[in-house]
Structure 1
Amino acid sequence: MSTLQISLAIIGGLVLAGVVAYNAWITRKSAPRTAVERVQDGGGHPAAGVDDDSENAVYGNDARGSGTRRIDPILGDGLDSPSGGPSMADDERLPPPQVPVTLSHVVNPPEKKASLDALIDVITPLSLEGEVSGDALLAALPGTRRVGSKPFAVEGQSEATGEWETPRPGQRYRALQAGVQLANRSGALNDIEFSEFVVKVQAFSDAVGAAPDFPDMRTEVARARELDAFASGHDAQLGFTLRARRAAWSPGYVAQHAARLGFVTGALPGRMVLPGSQQGQAPLLSLAFDPQAAMADDPEKTALRDIALSLEVTHVPRSEQPFVRMRQAAASLAEAMDGVITDDAGQLLSTDTMDRIGADLESLYDALDSRDLSAGSVQARRLFS
């Protein structure tokens, strides 16, 4: 073999090796970022051979995200309509507000079911001639706890505490009441639903020997419409989208960074929540991504280009500063994962836009407080459901 042939063979080999190396680099560059557990030696330092990149280090559990529906920003220049939206066409970076997120990584148990409330319920007293057992009341309850699209309930007044409660076995009651909710996100109580409520309560009363005293239908339906009109003008659900700038994310990579901010696994695949600080309180924030990616055979090989961060405004107390925490969480995740904060259409959200939404929220909180429907209260959570 001549010197020329040998030289050409060497050059060809080098070119082939270069192509293989380039392809390997491109493949690695485009692969979704994954969570890597940081292994520590006895001295508390990363063990040899383990990637020390802070973006790929997980401290503790690799929480698995689990899915919810995307909630878009719907606060506009005013609060007259829950469907209005701000203009979000600015590409300024959002600096994270300095509010610590140090919530417990434990999802709080649900609170005790609240009593009927004249503010948001039609309430019908049921007169009894004597005592009736909780067992008899439970046996006589209708098969469903709804009237049309509205929750329905029967309660007895506890002799021990004087509080209204759902009938319990082994207890005895001298006073009863039945109720149906005036309005929720499906609309106001209408004539048909009120009539169904009357039929259902009358059948129950006949079974337990009670006499119902129904309020006037016209009055209650008008009250339901007024409450629904208020709720429609003051409902607020906010949503941010975090989009990857370059490399996509794996579900574990997202969960790793969200867990550092206090998020825990939710009830559905692809959903994580930031728990409230009080027992029985709704989650402060929800983080959601593609549930199919979370349920894949190998989630770390699936690629996420965006995730959704949402706030159910009327369900979280103002004292928790939920919107400030939402801004902080979004900014922290965007910085740590090399992403940007946008609206659902992909337009970057600016600091000025965030400030305007925050000011609108303060007005919303004031309006809810004025109706004794403060954000995060049991009544508000029932009405805005």
Structure 2
Amino acid sequence: MSNLQLSLIALGVVLILLVLLFNWWQEQRIQNKMRSKFPEPEQDPLLSAEPIQTHPGALREEPAFDLSNQDPSNEDPTFKSDVTLASIRQEHDEQTVDEVCEGVIDLHFAAAVPGASLLAQIQSYRQAGTKAIRFFAETADGFHRARLHPNESYISLQMAVVLANRQGALNEIEWSQALVMADKLAHVFDASTESPDADALLKRAQALDELCANLDTQVGLTLKLAGTQPVAAIIDIARRMSFVEYGNDFAWCNEDGVPRFLLLLGNEPGQGVRSAGVDQVGLLLDVPRSPADEHAFGRMLAVAKELATALRAQLVDDAGRLVTDGAEVAIDSKLVELYDELDKQGIPAGSSRALLVFS
């Protein structure tokens, strides 16, 4: 090998060393700049017992599910929770199924069902034909519920179908509709069902309907106005005479807030009238649905006379005849007999049972 070749090799090695040295110097320079901008912590965070904070005062929170604020409409109705939710009240609800006037379908769930899921599913199951359906349930920890809550879970459900009302007795079609609803719930929530014999149940419904038809009585008074009067003005006068809003009606109530009789505007419930003016006002005593009172008609007549004076109206009875003095005595006597008969038949006037069958 010549001297020239050796010299070139030596020069190449020197150049490589210079490049490596230059790169090391550049790397050290950059690291020094980084340290000046981002100083290293005194302790390794992975070994520290103190929590890491991303900014002063910030604490990490793990995500959680808030069942109490969950919207039942967004809940998957087929969902079943592995967690049993405790009852919100450690006592039973007082209201129960009325075996006298309701047919009951029992559902027993294979696993506890969240109330939110159950409520979302039964919203459209409140009526079978013209017959109302009520729901009762048992919580996972054994408490009876007349009102379901979204933040409880339930192991059984009762569908209570009223046997008769003012639309007639429960019929085969309506009972079949209720059974279909129960089957759908059983499919969604994996439940077994129990229901009474259909023929026997429908016979009970027919008997109850016949009984109630013989006891159903309403007594009315009519105030004929001198021409069409504004509804708003009539309601204002009625309010001043102690009529109050009660559901879709205006009612004159007893000391417990239970309606004694109702106000009708042009034959419509007080809050259901659509016209701006009416030419007559009615008072209606719905005997089975009002609390028993030996002066029931007399009280309504006294209010009617006062209202007639305020509205400058003519007071007549159901048949359109002028109401004579002393008529209330005979009518109240008849109503007392009716109240007694309702009690004897196990349907006291104004009771929850009477409200069901005379709806």
TM range (shorter): 0.5 to 0.7
In the superposition, relative to structure 1, how do residues 144 and 126 fare at CA in structure 2: closer, same or farther (>3 Å)? closer
What is the alpha-carbon distance in structure 2 between the residues aligned to residue 238 and residue 276 of structure 1? 18
Checking the alignment, whether the CA contact within 8 Å between 1:341 and 1:348 is kept in structure 2 is yes
Given residue 259 of structure 1, which amino acid in structure 2 is its aligned partner?
Answer: R
In the superposition, relative to structure 1, how do residues 179 and 349 fare at CA in structure 2: closer, same or farther (>3 Å)? same
In the superposition, relative to structure 1, how do residues 324 and 140 fare at CA in structure 2: closer, same or farther (>3 Å)? same
Given residue 262 of structure 2, which amino acid in structure 1 is its aligned partner?
Answer: S
In the superposition, relative to structure 1, how do residues 145 and 267 fare at CA in structure 2: closer, same or farther (>3 Å)? closer
**1:325 and 2:299 correspond:** yes
For 1:221, the equivalent position in structure 2 comes to 202
Secondary structure of the residue aligned to 2:335 is: helix
TM-score of the aligned structures, taking structure 1 as reference length: 0.59
What is the alpha-carbon distance in structure 2 between the residues aligned to residue 148 and residue 123 of structure 1? 16
Larger deviation, residues 253-262 vs 373-382: 253-262
Checking the alignment, whether the CA contact within 8 Å between 2:136 and 2:144 is kept in structure 1 is no
In the superposition, relative to structure 1, how do residues 209 and 179 fare at CA in structure 2: closer, same or farther (>3 Å)? same
5 Å matches for 1:124-203? Answer: 124-141=105-122, 143-158=124-139, 162-203=143-184
Q: Deviations over 1:16-53 (max 9, x none)?
A: xxxxxxxxxxxxxxxxxxxxxxxxxxxxxxxxxxxxxx
Aligned-pair distance for 1:186? 0.7
Checking the alignment, whether the CA contact within 8 Å between 1:140 and 1:208 is kept in structure 2 is no
Given residue 122 of structure 1, which amino acid in structure 2 is its aligned partner?
Answer: G
What is the alpha-carbon distance in structure 1 between the residues aligned to residue 245 and residue 134 of structure 2? 32
**1:357 and 2:335 correspond:** no
Secondary structure of the residue aligned to 1:258 is: helix
255, 262, 277: which one aligns with 2:255: 277
Question: Could you say which structure has the higher strand fraction?
Answer: 2
**1:287 and 2:267 correspond:** no
What is the alpha-carbon distance in structure 2 between the residues aligned to residue 169 and residue 293 of structure 1? 36
Q: Deviations over 1:115-164 (max 9, x none)?
A: 43212110122233442221332344373321111112332124568323
After superposition, the CA RMSD in angstroms is 3.2
5 Å matches for 1:201-212? Answer: 201-212=182-193
Secondary structure of the residue aligned to 1:274 is: strand
- Give 1 or 2 for the bigger CA radius of gyration: 2
In the superposition, relative to structure 1, how do residues 331 and 222 fare at CA in structure 2: closer, same or farther (>3 Å)? same
**1:334 and 2:308 correspond:** yes
Equivalent pairs: percent with the same residue?
A: 29
235, 242, 267: which one aligns with 1:262: 242
What residue ranges of structure 1 are gaps of 5+ in the alignment? Answer: 1-111, 297-301
For 1:231, the equivalent position in structure 2 comes to 212
How many residue pairs get aligned? The number is: 263
Checking the alignment, whether the CA contact within 8 Å between 2:298 and 2:329 is kept in structure 1 is no
What is the alpha-carbon distance in structure 2 between the residues aligned to residue 136 and residue 247 of structure 1? 54
What residue ranges of structure 2 are gaps of 5+ in the alignment? Answer: 1-92
In the superposition, relative to structure 1, how do residues 266 and 310 fare at CA in structure 2: closer, same or farther (>3 Å)? same
Aligned-pair distance for 1:275? 3.5
